[in-house]
Chains A and B, each alone.
Chain A
């Protein structure tokens, strides 16, 4: 009897996601009577939002759903655009390729782990897009990937937001100097070395570009008088940065190093750059506003290593008031679950408006990732990445109720199973799987010199 019950329970657990999956596929939904926080067009009371094939097609009142369209009653509830995290390391098999000061050629898109339960947990926190970044061990790290949290697929490709432009991780300061300088006696050993690595990298890339241009021309004219140059995806990636095809997201803390990189970029004609962490960003706010795509910061987190002692919880507000495109990021599989709390802190420290505060986790990170054309606000024509809250998302009592990506429900609090893992390892002992939270992963896979205190 007990055996039967057990089997039945197993069967139900197995069936539940399947049933769910069928419902999930359509991308058609009508959300009724919500308080719609559009971000870009104010807050609309008692409003319906129609989604067809994953795209917002209509925003208004008394919208009628075509037959068989799933309707969600959001009376007394708040609808906002899906939260976007501009700095995350979730759903990655590997984070740092720490073996060289420049590893521009490596791609986080090669190491997406669709089985990471953190994707589901992020959805439960209303996050629909995360920027899966290389770590901060190298001056020029790998190319990041922008993920849409389409949890449930086993195919890493299906998590990638295809529209998103290429981005790359840079890192200044203590991490790269410690890993390469002190760890391996390579350049950079100091902040000066960091700048030199970047400048030398770009100079070499320019030479590389010239060599290939010359050879391609010769080949085109059938006048080849030199051997084919060696292909180097590292230098080619740097060329692509110089050509404006890739947005830099640079790990940084101090004002002087931020300003240094602004200067370097200006001298190479690069304007696609976002500074991440930027705890001293408030000191160079006008420069950030003028020359960059903004800064992505923590709400109130610092003093975890020497270079990040000088900071303030007013950082995001000061940056915002100075016209810097500002976002608040998690850099953590745990923090990502309550970015709406982090955004709310800017109302306490700096008095940002509701719209300004929510922009920090929606349209602004979308701009920094180059995806604001498609997501980041509730507008007709945009992708239906949406989250329904029971209270105003900036309320401390707010709990996400339902999260949709492309109009498809990937999280529904009413249908939240105890075990949402996609893949079970039969080699594992059946002890309780533990929550791994609070581990910040910027220096993950860097197996030298480090303690937990020196991670970001």
Chain B
């Protein structure tokens, strides 16, 4: 028995070591896109948690399991199967909710125009009236697009149905989770309404939209009445199924809200008029003006979703004197005032105590944080801005039980920031969406164009070795990257330079080549003559080769 042991042990040890290495390998690459995760349980250690606007918990730990937040507390013990996320330099916020996103939703296929098509009386679908459609059926997953928005901190979005008409369909609620999963949270959200028409058919303008809406609402009530009567009295004749009216029934019974796109003060007023005439739950989407209406909206308890889009500054660059016309300064001042009023709109809603949310509908993702900062500079508090992205939309969606704050039992949707939210240098480090970790830390380092790029070639015993050196200067300090042929196979590898020194006449640095069984340090040292470099490459402990390099004219951007 004893004699066998020496054999077994080395085998076992090798197996153990290699499997450990294997795991380390996965971890070392970081779970960048959540594709292969070792565990569904995570532990954010010793971090700063903002569980909801206005609260801050320092040196807390957060545990989430299988997509659900399970525990928040101090000095929690790390579960044995949890992956640790070191949170000591991070700020953890509930992830953002977008109350209206148009991205990824395609237009529905409409029926063919009938031969005897009458534009004054078109079939509902061809008139842009298809409330029975759902954005959920027309959402095409575009993982990179989702990632772009997730990278900003959004994990949940209401997808707005496409369609040019007044009733394009119901909104779908999605989570920007793992692309391999079904990420639909709610198939039939609020009914979407807009003051838009298909064009060329009835209804063609806002005039007929208003009239059509009244008729649809009345006829839904009558349709329902027919359904109820028929249940008791079959002699009145069956109900001919009408999918449009069917879709409106929940609205007339206050079981569903009408989400009205309101891009001007007059559209808000029209929506209020509709609500006055036929009482229903109203949410305004994309509000961008109408400060004067705030008291009315508050008293009526209308749900408010403000636009994240802001107007461009059109007045700072003065016009040519010849184009100015009379009273130019006064006019300019009025535009400036109107512009500032746009930036202040959100703060007015905050002052009035209206729990508003935001929609990304009219904003480019590049402007998201900038616009929020502009609103904050114009009076919106950071707490209210966060609430508009978290707790308020959760309430509007009637989803408070599962989202909107970092609370045990809610979905694990969190944003891990490098600094406090909306502060100058705050960046999104990681996003946890549906319990999946999306790590953006590397991507946060701005891919700056290298200041110098050299192409080098070195003669080695096994052939020529080629690659590039990229040197970047920041705050008077040089840093760099070296690419080299993979000594163990195909492709190239890169490494960071160490001890990089660049002068007008010389370059010197070292870097490490890591192979399976060893780490080699390579030292490069040589002289510059205009755009040419000539020197030595010294693989420590092995050999020395000559190396030549040429400085490229234009630094190339890393793909």
Chain A interface residues toward B at CB < 8 A? 6-7, 9-10, 13-14, 93-94, 96-101, 103, 105-108, 110-111, 113, 115, 134, 142, 154-156, 180, 184, 186, 224-234, 418-419, 421, 423-433, 445
Given contacts A101-B120, A430-B314, A430-B315, 13 further A-B contacts (CB under 8 A): A9-B330, A10-B337, A13-B333, A94-B207, A105-B211, A154-B292, A225-B235, A228-B225, A231-B215, A418-B327, A421-B334, A429-B319, A432-B328
- The distance in angstroms between the C-alpha atoms of A356 and B325, with both chains bound, is 43
* Contact across chains for A110 and B206 when beta carbons are under 8 A apart: yes
Closest Cβ neighbor of B341 among chain A residues: A426
Task: Tell me the complex Cα distance, A94–B266, Å.
Answer: 12
A18 to chain B, nearest CB (A): 13
Q: Are B319 and A110 in contact (CB under 8 A)?
A: no
B30 within 8 A of A: no
B236 at the interface (CB under 8 A from A): yes
**A387 → B minimal CB distance (Å):** 27
Q: Which residues of B contact A224 (CB under 8 A)?
A: 229, 233, 236
CB interface residues, B 516-533, toward A, < 8 Å? none
A108 with B335, Cβ < 8 A, contacts A9-B330, A431-B319 known: no
Q: Mark B315-356, 1 if CB is under 8 A from A, else 0.
A: 100010001111111111111111101100000000000000
Shortest distance between the CB of A426 and any CB in chain B (Å):
4
Bound-state CA distance A13–B330 (Å) is 8
Nearest A residue to B315 via CB reads A430
Q: Which residues of B contact A (CB under 8 A)?
A: 118-121, 200-208, 210-211, 214-215, 218-219, 222, 225-226, 229-230, 233, 235-237, 239, 265-266, 269-270, 273, 292, 311-312, 314-315, 319, 323-339, 341-342
Helix, strand, loop or mixed for chain B's interface?
Answer: helix
| Interchain residue pairs A-B with the least CB separation, the first 3 | A432-B325, A10-B333, A100-B120
A4 to chain B, nearest CB (A): 12
Which of the residues A97, A234, A432, A433 comes within 8 Å of B205, measured between beta carbons? A97
Q: B206's contact among A6, A94, A228, A425, by CB below 8 Å, is which?
A: A94
Q: Is the CB of B204 within 8 A of A231?
A: no
| Shortest distance between the CB of B511 and any CB in chain A (Å) | 53
Query: Which residues of chain A come closer than 8 Å to B311, judged between CB atoms?
Result: 426-427
In the assembled complex, the Cα of A419 lies from the Cα of B218 at a distance in Å of 44
Partner of B226, one of A10, A93, A227: A227
A426 touches B342 (CB 8 A): yes
Q: Report the minimum CB–CB distance from B193 to chain A (whole Å).
A: 15
Once the chains bind, are A93 and B204 in contact (CB under 8 Å)? no
Query: Which listed residue (A96, A225, A230, A418) contacts B236, Cβ 8 A?
Result: A225
CB atoms of A113 and B200 under 8 A apart: no
Q: How many whole Å from B426's CB to the nearest CB in chain A?
A: 28
Residues in A with CB closer than 8 Å to B333 are: 6-7, 9-10, 13
The residue from B208, B273, B314 contacting A428, defined by CB atoms under 8 A apart? B314
Within 8 Å by CB of B211, from A9, A107, A156, A428, lies A107
CA distance A77 to B166 in the complex (A): 53
B330 contacts A424, CB within 8 Å?
Answer: no
Please give, as numbers and ranges, the residues of chain B lying within 8 Å of A234 by CB-CB distance. Answer: 211
Cross-chain contact A106 with B236 (CB below 8 angstroms): no
- Please name all residues of chain B whose beta carbon is closer than 8 Å to the beta carbon of A226 when the two chains form the complex: 236-237
A231 near B219 (CB under 8 angstroms)?
A: yes
User: B118, B218, B333, B341: which has the most chain A beta carbons within 10 Å?
Assistant: B333
Task: Report chain A residues within 8 Å CB of B210.
Answer: 106-107, 110-111
